[in-house]
Amino acid sequence: MTRIDLTGLDTRPAQVWGGVRLVPLVRAEPVPGLRLSREVYEAADGRVDVGDGTVYTSYVPHGFVADWSGAGREEAAYGTRLGDAPPAGVPVRAPHRRLARRVRGERRLRFLPLHLALEGYLSLHFGGPSVLWEEWSRAALRRGLSPRAEAAYAGWEVPGLAEALRVFELHPGQCGVLVYTADALAAAFVVPHPEDYRLLHPTLVEDLYGELVHQYAYYGGPVPEFTARIRDGAGGIRDLADLRAAAREQERRWAVAHDGLMARDLLDTPYAFERAYRMGSFALYRFLPPFARDGRGQHIGELITDHKGRTAYLKTFRLSDAQVRRGYLLRRLASCDWHPGRTAEALGIAREELVRRIRAAGFGALLDAHGLAQAARNAREG
């Protein structure tokens, strides 16, 4: 599996609020055997021990619970509150031991939406240089890329998103949505059942969104709404059946245009998938993009697939250009055994330019100034 499969999900005409475009995703039939519910945490500042001596800390307003028991427990807890008033729901005490953890004695899995994917990005070559060449400091070998931090915005900070979600009209059979700002794909959200979506739709305003998404929403102007024009003429609209057929044809054209253009970056990108948990015939994955420098939007995310590889649950996070550059640089360094000379040659740039890019990416603390100077002298003498 290298790509996201949205088989069984169909798009419906978009709804627009200012610069935010929301594209509904509907299923003819729900995914059998899996339900998602929401669990509100008593402590919103989540601290997760990822098991290798590092700790992942983030604001955690809620978690998802995947239930494949067939017991029909699809109830959800509503709202997140900060203050003295306790939230309604089952309290989960911090620290949380893992980002995805099975509920003891039950066929249910508790995981933090998007945090599984973000932890995968933050841990990308977290250990730092695997070989201590002259140019790397010994502190880099001991500590690696520690600490790693990335900026994100909560949904209510993205201009127009809260209003768009509030006035959003749910479609029959809706199981997901694609969120665009300034007609750039910001996030995708898919669940297995329409009732799950109806309960989890408000959580989109509590999700994390990338810096680029916030900028597009803040500086971008209103986007055009979906419009359909049905022309009457010779052999055209004669009765309600013809009108209905023409309306469906307009919807089909919208779906073809959307799937072929707007969502192309998400669906045509090959991803690296890592399985986090298997639950019966379903599997929970997180994925990373190829970090290609082609100017196309790139997403990290997590998904649950059935035994045929079809998507039952999906949530994505669009990386900013700077985050893509950092991932690309780390990948190229690791592929060249962290040797600056070979990495610069592979990139077709001078060593000095590579050093500049490393520092510009925020990884300057890994470099050893004395080692860089010594390596430069060795290169001149050679």
Give the distance from CA 214 to its chain's centroid: 15
**Is the CB of residue 63 less than 8 Å from the CB of residue 38?**
yes
Residue 110's pLDDT band, with cuts at 50, 70 and 90, is low
Question: CA 262, CA 257: separation in Å to the nearest integer?
Answer: 8
Mean per-residue pLDDT over the chain, rounded = 79
Q: Which tokens is 185 given? A: 């794909």
pLDDT of residue 348: 94
DSSP letters, 189-221, are EE-SSHHHHHHHGGGGGGSEE-HHHHHHHHH--
Question: CA 125, CA 52: separation in Å to the nearest integer?
Answer: 13
Residue 92's pLDDT band, with cuts at 50, 70 and 90, is very low
Which residues 6+ apart lie within 8 Å of 108 measured at CB? 65, 66, 67, 68, 69, 73, 102
**Is the CB of residue 313 less than 8 Å from the CB of residue 190?**
yes
Instruction: Give CB contacts under 8 A, 24+ apart, made by 52-58.
Output: 54/123, 54/126, 54/146, 55/95, 56/99, 56/115, 56/119, 56/122, 58/115, 58/118
The burial class, CB within 10 Å (0-12 / 13-18 / 19+), for 158 is buried
Which residues 6+ apart lie within 8 Å of 46 measured at CB? 57, 58, 59, 60, 94, 95, 96, 112, 115
- pLDDT tens-place string over residues 153-189: 888 899 999 999 998 889 999 999 999 999 889 999 9
User: Does residue 196 carry a pLDDT above 60?
Assistant: yes
Residue 97's pLDDT band, with cuts at 50, 70 and 90, is very low
| Structure-model confidence comparison of residues 109 and 102, the more confident one | 109
* CA-based nearest residue to 41, from 116, 120, 112: 112
Question: CA 117, CA 315: separation in Å to the nearest integer?
Answer: 9
- pLDDT tens-place string over residues 236-295: 777 888 888 888 888 777 777 776 666 778 888 999 999 988 888 889 899 999 998 888
Question: CA 211, CA 258: separation in Å to the nearest integer?
Answer: 24
Question: CA 249, CA 244: separation in Å to the nearest integer?
Answer: 9
* CA-based nearest residue to 368, from 360, 358, 378: 358
Question: CA 84, CA 81: separation in Å to the nearest integer?
Answer: 8
- pLDDT tens-place string over residues 10-36: 888 888 998 999 999 999 999 988 888
pLDDT of residue 327: 93
| Structure-model confidence comparison of residues 55 and 124, the more confident one | 124
Q: Which tokens is 107 given? A: 């066929």
For the chain, give the percent of residues with pLDDT over 90. Answer: 30
pLDDT of residue 78: 32
**pTM for this one?**
0.78
**Is the CB of residue 304 less than 8 Å from the CB of residue 66?**
yes
User: Does residue 133 carry a pLDDT above 60?
Assistant: yes
Range in 106-115, 126-135, 188-197 the model is least confident about: 106-115
pLDDT of residue 312: 93
User: Does residue 203 carry a pLDDT above 90?
Assistant: no
User: Does residue 347 carry a pLDDT above 50?
Assistant: yes
User: Does residue 206 carry a pLDDT above 60?
Assistant: yes
Question: CA 191, CA 204: separation in Å to the nearest integer?
Answer: 12
